[in-house]
Amino acid sequence: PEAITVAELANRMAEKAADLVKSMFKMGMMVTVNQTIDQDTAELLVEEFGHNIQRVSESDIDIDHTTDVDPEETLKPRPPVVTIMGHVDHGKTSLLDALRGTDVVRGEAGGITQHMGAYQIKTKGGDFVTFLDTPGHAAFTQMRMRGANVTDIVVLVVAADDGIMPQTVEAINHTKAAGVPMIVAINKCDKPEANPQKVRERLLEHSIVVEEMSGDVQDVEVSAKTGKGLDELIEKILLQAELMELKANPDRMAEATVIEAKLDKGKGPLATVLVNRGTLKVGDILVVGTESGRVRAMLDDKGRQLKQAPPAMPVEVLGIGGVPMAGDLLTVVESEQRAREVSAYRQEQATAKRTAMAPASLDTMFSALA
């Protein structure tokens, strides 16, 4: 049975802990504020105080991971998640192709990225880095915003022959809003008309002062075409990541964020997810957004089958009952029964939100650690 302290319960109900203690005394229970009580007792108290009980898993309501924190001793180093942003055609996908030894650009309609790619590479030094590729086309603001919000580091790609353009500025703004550190990759430096110094100067207008200008934003001249500066770019990413001491608990039921989802004619609903913490495994029962399902198979970015996906790993998941939405949280649960409960709860919440009739305010919400 799960437990909660009297103080924590009082806090969640926005009541005085002393009043709870008093109330329990009347029920014949002697407890102190810091004592833990079982779920049934907690529910009794919630009813006693006239609040509504909503049984949801902690991870379910804790989408931004503010209260359900993994204990320090469970945390292990994880790879950084790096989102590539920048104006259309400035060479984001080409840079990733060069880093991965692939040719994604050639397969793109009109050479324009229209979805978010997710990849993990192993560096020469043996470190792993997860990359998210975003589209630069003006129409895809949402994707860029999402990219900035799920990442540890942003690499801003600016073509040295084109300079600061509207979506460069947009990317800078998303990055600042997300509070994420940035590394500037000045690309296409192989071109005769490239003018990296001008890029650095124009960045000043947006309060980005790069190292070359004695600031603290790392910058690097690169060429996706010749491979110039790519090792240096990786070094800078790893340096930044090291400063951040990125960690996650791999030994728990997984939580992941949906990067992209679609309906495949043959395979059914497909979701590319990024594991936030825990390890996602084939066979896991899950809730994702308002959908539920079971992991039937997982594929990495090269289409290889995986049995498990640790933190910061991007994987394509097969076996979800319907198509979730980008940005949805995927939560592994212990049983199908639980999956149905949570997805029903989420559906209710979604409906309530749509009809703007949600009566539950935070102070009446009681989340049991069920």
| Bind-site residues for GTP | 86-93, 133-137, 187-190
For ligand GTP, the closer CB: 46 or 172: 172
Q: Which of 41, 57, 59, 113 binds Mg ion (CB under 5 A)?
A: 113
CB of 279 to ligand GTP, least distance (A): 31
Hey, what are 232's tokens? 């240096």
| 276: contact with Mg ion by CB under 5 A | no
CB of 191 to ligand GTP, least distance (A): 5
| 93: contact with Mg ion by CB under 5 A | yes
CB of 185 to ligand GTP, least distance (A): 10
CA nearest neighbour of 181 among 137, 259, 99, 246: 246
Residue 88 interaction partner, one of ligand GTP, Mg ion, none, beta carbon < 5-8 Å per kind: ligand GTP
For ligand GTP, the closer CB: 51 or 200: 200
For ligand GTP, the closer CB: 158 or 330: 158
Instruction: Identify which range of 109-117, 142-150, 166-174, 303-311 contacts Mg ion by CB under 5 A.
Output: 109-117
Instruction: Give contact residues for ligand GTP (rule: CB under 6 A).
Output: 86, 88-94, 105, 111-113, 135-137, 187-188, 190-191, 223-225
Residue 187 interaction partner, one of ligand GTP, Mg ion, none, beta carbon < 5-8 Å per kind: ligand GTP
For Mg ion, the closer CB: 223 or 331: 223
Hey, what are 295's tokens? 């992991």
User: Which residue ranges make up the annotated binding site?
Assistant: 86-93, 133-137, 187-190
Q: Closest residue (Cβ) to ligand GTP?
A: 136
Residue 44 and residue 53: Cα distance in Å, rounded? Answer: 10
Q: Are 114 and 141 in contact (CB under 8 A)?
A: no
Residue 33 interaction partner, one of ligand GTP, Mg ion, none, beta carbon < 5-8 Å per kind: none
The residues binding Mg ion (CB under 5 A) are 92-93, 113
